[in-house]
Structure 1
Amino acid sequence: MNRTPSASAELAADRFARRVTARLNEGTDGLPYDITERLRAARVQALDKRRKPAVVPVRQTVAAPVMVSSGGSATLGWGGEGGNWWRALISAAPLTALVVGLVFINIAQDEHIAHEIAEVDTALLTDDLPPSAYTDPGFLQFLKTADNSR
């Protein structure tokens, strides 16, 4: 028998409901009348709710992702045939925001590094030693011995 998954699930739910009803009916023999009447009323209400299908207003439907099967694979899509350019624009907005944010972070980092280099250059140029002293091999040896003597 070829059944859809929703029909199979509904049949399984009905079988389960029948088993639960039978089990509940077994224990009602010794209960007082008022409790059995309340249980009967609750069952009637539950059945009424089960029989009434949920009504979805047409104007309030929301496009939700659906599983689309194609060949041997399944993909997550929005359903429908027509491509909505608003949906494409909205889905591209977070990616665009991410790229713009990364560009701004890169610019800020470049400015920060340039500022640090400028501070080092300013310190070197305003120091008492000439810049050529820093490249002298003897100056490096002087710094090593000065650190050890402290």
Structure 2
Amino acid sequence: MSEWIPEEEWETIVRNVPIPSVDLVVECPDGFVLGKRTNEPARGEWFVPGGRVKKGEELGEAVHRLANEELGTGVEIHEAIGTFEHFYRTSEIGYEKHYIAHGYHVWSEETDFEADNQHSEIKIFEESLPDFHDYVDKYFRSVDPRNASI
């Protein structure tokens, strides 16, 4: 599995092809888990955990890896909620980004999460969700239409 892509090659990838990724709608006993992003795209916004799929990595493996990397915990995959396209005008390298994101509704028994280097904070939201990116709303609608813009 690939680990690191040199910056020049990453720029070529971002400039020319969509990036396969997984995004996790994490539900736990206290509600839904969101992270406030510190990097582009969507810097400063509440977003679901997730990231790119590495070459040779199956989607389910990526779900478990990213849950461990971004939340420090394992998750149980409840269901695949669909494939989503994300288009961002900004990125860490100055080019527009295009993601083909595979959404998963997952469950964690944890209720205490630590922010990684991509998030300034991780919070659990039970009743009312904060203002968050439009793409997050689409994920919540896919999990349960009643959850949209709780």
Is the TM-score greater than 0.5? no
Please tell me the TM-score bracket, short chain as reference. Answer: under 0.3
Higher normalized contact order (CA 8 Å, seq sep 6+, divided by chain length)? 2
Report the TM-score when normalising by structure 1. Answer: 0.18
Report the TM-score when normalising by structure 2. Answer: 0.18
- Higher Rg of the two aligned structures: 1
